[in-house]
């Protein structure tokens, strides 16, 4: 198994670091490296005088030195722009994927310094980025975009400046647009604002912004397609491109270095040692459990299990209210007919009554003449006193890619109403399966769950997340929510903040949310002993300690804090496959409580989580058996996406459901969110 890690050959004495004051740093020459670690304090691997080495836990400071060396060296290259010092990113102009009059698509490289297996490695990743080529002056002179829109939505920009005698495009932010100039900050001087001509600033634009320009619609569509194609992590030649960047950019940086600390970089990626690789087979994952009308079927494959039901008696009528345009009337009628009376494809058949035991009863339909009437029609429905509407599910037929999708869903949810929005025009049997699973869950049923082994599975799994709510018309990142799942992966409910949170309050809100979720579950499940808490960020020590203190009142024996980071840069390649992508269930051990887990469900899909685990809030040294059990539980949660019965997902439902909630909270203010929290906390309205 290969990786995108490249060994940096380091002299042993270079790992020894020494502390210096500001005055001492002034004696360094330009080739000597140092980094700031505190107020007036610096470290360097250069020894001067009688300095003694300082403790350097995990070589963190040395890694900073390597990063600074790379950034400094990149500045000398004429084909490098938009260097981000903090994130370790830069863009290459020498190999454009597209170069047009109004925008270019370029390769962007990110790099990290990783200590792994007692060596120092360079971790390299590639993606693509769209760069606007229209200056701020032209944008405003041609009235493509208003000033207030640019100031609010296009603050990030490229600024053409002169640094160290060289002119280049650097990353910046728009502070204030003046009559003929613009006040900006740059990555090199983030705290110092500079006033510069508007022709020397290229604001960062969204793809949709180009629709306001003279850009042909075909070119905008081509842009979307090209960005999608080149941004996919499952590109079979990704490994080849990374190798090329390492050979053509990074290798020369090290070879031409005037610093003796690190003189070379391996051009061959790290092959992961076999002793650090574990595997989980599909056979070791839990089977699906599907229950209907008191009968339970167990199956290794979801569709095979769902298809075994052929229910005929005790079919439950469920009221629905439907909305559609006049032009979509036949499509809505076709969908309802196929769901209620059935659809046949080859040797397979499907209907809601026979597979799920329910039938849709339309109590009202709203026929809309034009798109602008959707919102007003929904308002009319919400104001109705018709008793048949009280527990009715709302089904709305919207045009594909409708801008009203989230607004309508949020509006209904804020009034305690659950909705199912559809946009397809041709409903095949697979579409019907997926829509039916959605509807069944939103009506309060359990579409399916999984088996659990008493010793291997935690009693409760929590998916923790934060997202944004509107405040005075703008978004603030200040809402916490936790999705609660039992040991069989059944979504039970969601607990949420009901007040705005600043950063300090978030530190207190996390333990409150978790305690409330656990206490509610404990009230009906007194044998609760173990909990997994999933979080897409890294738990801080302070957060873990606060949660553990909050749970002291509960008889919990084991709390597993599990960070599932998918924003990392690791890639794993199986050289025995033509696609060079590692399949699901592969584990690469990185450290005592840290490992990579592939959850890929397609042969050409590269989906890897960087997992970090703390047991009862503290660092731990996981055994291989513990890693396998935790990984099995995470993989098992990928089988529980009630949003799709046909297509498998590579995301654990703990993180996927949190993502679905986050997409919608942007459309709520605090008052409407409180209504959702009160009336829909026990319904997965967001899927």
At 578, is the pLDDT very low, low, confident or very high (cuts 50, 70, 90)?
very low
Point out the domain boundary residue: 384, 414, 442. 442
The b-or-e profile of 108-132 (16+ CB within 10 A means b, else e) is bbbbbbbebbeebbbbbbbebbbbb
At 216, is the pLDDT very low, low, confident or very high (cuts 50, 70, 90)?
low
Structure-token match 């002119």, residue found: 167
CA distance 610 to 598: 9
Q: Do residues 437 and 470 share a domain?
A: no
Q: What's 413's domain CATH number?
A: 3.40.50.2300
Helix (H) or strand (E) segment spanning residue 288:
strand 288-292
Higher pLDDT, 429 or 581: 429
Question: Which stretches does DSSP call E strand in 500-551?
Answer: 530-535
Instruction: Look up residue 617 and give its two tokens.
Output: 């809030």
Whether the pLDDT of residue 200 is over 50: the answer is yes
Q: What's 149's domain CATH number?
A: 2.30.30.140
Instruction: Provide the residue range defining the domain that includes 621.
Output: 455-566+610-677
SS (H, E, C) 77-92: CCCEEEEECCCCEEEE
Specify if 94 maps to a domain.
no
Whether the pLDDT of residue 296 is over 90: the answer is yes
pLDDT winner (highest mean) among 211-215, 221-225, 388-392, 487-491? 487-491
| Residue 9 near residue 582, CB atoms below 8 Å | no
Contacts of 552 (CB under 8 A, 6+ apart): none
At 298, is the pLDDT very low, low, confident or very high (cuts 50, 70, 90)?
very high
Point out the domain boundary residue: 149, 175, 204. 204
Helix (H) or strand (E) segment spanning residue 166:
strand 166-177
At 256, is the pLDDT very low, low, confident or very high (cuts 50, 70, 90)?
confident
Whether the pLDDT of residue 78 is over 80: the answer is yes
Section 312-323 average pLDDT: 94
CA angle 531, 534, 538 (to 5 degrees): 125
| Residue 525 near residue 508, CB atoms below 8 Å | no
Higher pLDDT, 40 or 274: 274
Section 193-220 average pLDDT: 79
Q: Do residues 316 and 409 share a domain?
A: yes
Structure-token match 């070879």, residue found: 255
Q: Do residues 378 and 508 share a domain?
A: no
Task: Report pLDDT digits (tens) over 468-517.
Answer: 776 665 556 577 889 999 999 999 999 988 777 776 677 788 899 999 99
What pLDDT, on a 0 to 100 scale, did the predictor assign at position 341? 95
Specify if 485 maps to a domain.
yes
Is 553 buried (19+), middle (13-18) or exposed (0-12) by CB count in 10 A? exposed
Section 455-471 average pLDDT: 84
Lowest-pLDDT range of 293-307, 315-329, 442-456, 574-588 = 574-588
What pLDDT, on a 0 to 100 scale, did the predictor assign at position 603? 58
pLDDT winner (highest mean) among 165-174, 259-268, 343-352, 656-665? 343-352
Specify if 240 maps to a domain.
no
Lowest-pLDDT range of 8-17, 552-561, 574-583, 668-677 = 574-583
Is 234 buried (19+), middle (13-18) or exposed (0-12) by CB count in 10 A? middle
Q: Do residues 388 and 518 share a domain?
A: no
Q: Do residues 644 and 672 share a domain?
A: yes
- Pseudo-torsion of CA 385, 388, 394, 399, nearest 10°? -80
| Residue 442 near residue 393, CB atoms below 8 Å | yes
533 φ/ψ sector (left φ>0, alpha ψ -120 to 50, else beta):
beta
Q: Do residues 411 and 476 share a domain?
A: no
Higher pLDDT, 500 or 332: 332
Specify if 371 maps to a domain.
yes
- Pseudo-torsion of CA 176, 220, 373, 681, nearest 10°? -70
Which DSSP letter does residue 155 get?
Answer: -
At 648, is the pLDDT very low, low, confident or very high (cuts 50, 70, 90)?
confident
Specify if 196 maps to a domain.
yes
Specify if 368 maps to a domain.
yes
Point out the domain boundary residue: 442, 476, 496. 442
Q: Is 450 helix (H, G, I), strand (E, B) or coil?
A: strand
Q: Do residues 479 and 622 share a domain?
A: yes
Q: Do residues 460 and 435 share a domain?
A: no
Section 540-565 average pLDDT: 93
Q: Do residues 464 and 504 share a domain?
A: yes
The CA R_g of the chain, rounded to the nearest whole Å, is: 28
| Residue 564 near residue 534, CB atoms below 8 Å | yes
Q: Do residues 297 and 192 share a domain?
A: no
Q: Is 357 helix (H, G, I), strand (E, B) or coil?
A: coil
Whether the pLDDT of residue 294 is over 60: the answer is yes
How many structural domains compose the chain?
3
β-strand pairing of 530-535 with 460-471: parallel
Contacts of 496 (CB under 8 A, 6+ apart): 479, 480, 481, 482, 513, 673, 676, 677, 681
Q: Do residues 408 and 312 share a domain?
A: yes
CA distance 528 to 555: 8
Lowest-pLDDT range of 396-405, 538-547, 678-687 = 396-405
Q: Do residues 523 and 653 share a domain?
A: yes
Task: Report pLDDT digits (tens) over 151-177.
Answer: 877 889 999 988 777 788 999 999 999
Q: Residue 434 CB: number of other CB atoms within 10 A?
A: 19
Task: Report pLDDT digits (tens) over 171-183.
Answer: 999 999 998 899 9
Give me the phi and psi of 353, to 5 degrees please.
-60, -45
Higher pLDDT, 230 or 480: 480
Specify if 480 maps to a domain.
yes
Specify if 592 maps to a domain.
no
What pLDDT, on a 0 to 100 scale, did the predictor assign at position 394? 96
Section 659-682 average pLDDT: 85
Task: Report pLDDT digits (tens) over 120-156.
Answer: 999 999 888 889 999 999 988 888 788 888 887 788 9
What pLDDT, on a 0 to 100 scale, did the predictor assign at position 577? 45
At 449, is the pLDDT very low, low, confident or very high (cuts 50, 70, 90)?
very high
Higher pLDDT, 285 or 234: 285
């Amino acid at each position: 198994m290969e990786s995108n890690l490249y060994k940096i050959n380091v002299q042993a004495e270079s790992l020894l670091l020494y502390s210096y004051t500001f005055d001492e740093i002034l004696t360094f020459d330009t080739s000597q490296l140092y980094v700031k670690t505190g107020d007036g304090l610096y470290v360097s691997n250069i020894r001067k005088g009688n300095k003694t080495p300082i403790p350097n836990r995990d070589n963190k400071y040395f890694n900073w030195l390597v990063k600074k060396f790379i950034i400094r060296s990149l500045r000398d290259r004429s084909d490098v722009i938009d260097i981000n010092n903090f994130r370790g990113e830069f863009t290459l102009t020498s190999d454009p994927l597209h170069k047009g009059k109004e925008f270019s698509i370029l390769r962007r490289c990110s790099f990290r310094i990783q200590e792994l297996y007692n060596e120092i490695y360079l971790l390299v990743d590639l993606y693509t980025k769209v760069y606007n080529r229209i200056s701020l002056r032209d944008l405003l002179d041609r009235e493509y975009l208003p000033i207030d829109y640019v100031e609010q939505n296009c603050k990030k920009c490229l600024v053409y400046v002169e640094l160290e005698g060289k002119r280049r495009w650097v990353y910046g932010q728009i502070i204030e647009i003046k009559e003929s100039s613009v006040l900006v900050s740059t990555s090199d001087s983030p705290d110092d604002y500079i006033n510069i001509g508007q022709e020397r600033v290229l604001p960062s634009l969204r793809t949709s912004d180009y629709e306001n320009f003279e850009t042909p619609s075909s070119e905008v569509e081509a842009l979307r397609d090209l960005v999608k194609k080149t941004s996919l992590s499952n590109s079979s030649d990704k490994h080849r491109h990374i190798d090329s960047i390492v050979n053509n950019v990074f290798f020369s940086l090290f070879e031409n270095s005037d610093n003796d600390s690190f003189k070379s970089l391996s051009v061959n990626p790290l092959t992961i040692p076999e002793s650090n690789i574990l595997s989980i087979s599909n056979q070791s994952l839990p089977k699906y459990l599907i229950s209907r009308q008191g009968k339970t079927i167990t199956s290794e494959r979801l569709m095979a299990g769902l298809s075994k039901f052929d229910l005929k008696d005790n079919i439950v009528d469920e009221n629905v209210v439907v909305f559609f345009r006049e032009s979509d009337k036949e499509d809505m009628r076709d969908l309802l007919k196929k769901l209620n009376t059935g659809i046949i494809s080859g040797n397979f058949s499907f209907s809601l009554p026979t597979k799920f035991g329910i039938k849709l009863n339309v109590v009202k339909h709203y026929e809309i003449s034009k798109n602008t009437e959707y919102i007003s029609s929904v308002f009319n429905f919400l104001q109705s006193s018709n008793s048949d509407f009280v527990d009715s599910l709302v089904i709305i037929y919207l045009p594909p890619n409708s801008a009203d999708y989230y607004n309508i869903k949020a509006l209904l949810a804020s009034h305690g109403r659950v909705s199912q929005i559809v946009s397809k025009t041709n409903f095949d049997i697979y579409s019907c399966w997926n829509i039916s699973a959605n509807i069944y869950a939103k009506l309060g049923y359990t579409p399916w769950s999984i088996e659990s082994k008493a010793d291997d599975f935690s009693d409760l799994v929590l998916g923790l997340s934060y997202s944004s709510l509107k405040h005075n018309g703008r978004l603030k990142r200040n809402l916490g929510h936790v999705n609660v799942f039992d040991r069989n992966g059944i979504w039970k409910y969601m607990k949420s903040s009901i007040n705005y949170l600043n950063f300090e309050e978030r530190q207190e809100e996390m333990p409150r949310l978790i305690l409330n979720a656990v206490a509610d579950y404990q009230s009906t499940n007194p044998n609760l002993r173990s909990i997994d808490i999933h979080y897409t960020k890294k738990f801080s020590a302070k957060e873990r300690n606060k949660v553990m203190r909050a749970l002291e009142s509960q008889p919990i024996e084991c709390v597993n804090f599990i960070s599932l980071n998918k924003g990392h840069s690791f890639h794993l390649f199986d050289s025995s496959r033509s696609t060079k992508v590692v399949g699901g269930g592969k584990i690469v051990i990185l450290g005592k409580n840290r490992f990579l887990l592939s959850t890929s469900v397609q042969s050409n899909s590269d989906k890897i989580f960087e997992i970090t685990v703390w047991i009862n809030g503290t660092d731990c040294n996981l055994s291989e058996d513990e890693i396998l059990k935790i990984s099995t539980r995470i993989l098992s949660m990928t089988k529980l996406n009630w949003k799709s019965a046909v297509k498998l997902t590579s995301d654990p439902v703990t993180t996927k459901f949190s993502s679905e909630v986050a997409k919608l909270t942007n459309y709520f203010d605090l008052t409407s969110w409180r209504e959702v929290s009160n009336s829909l906390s026990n319904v997965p309205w967001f899927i």
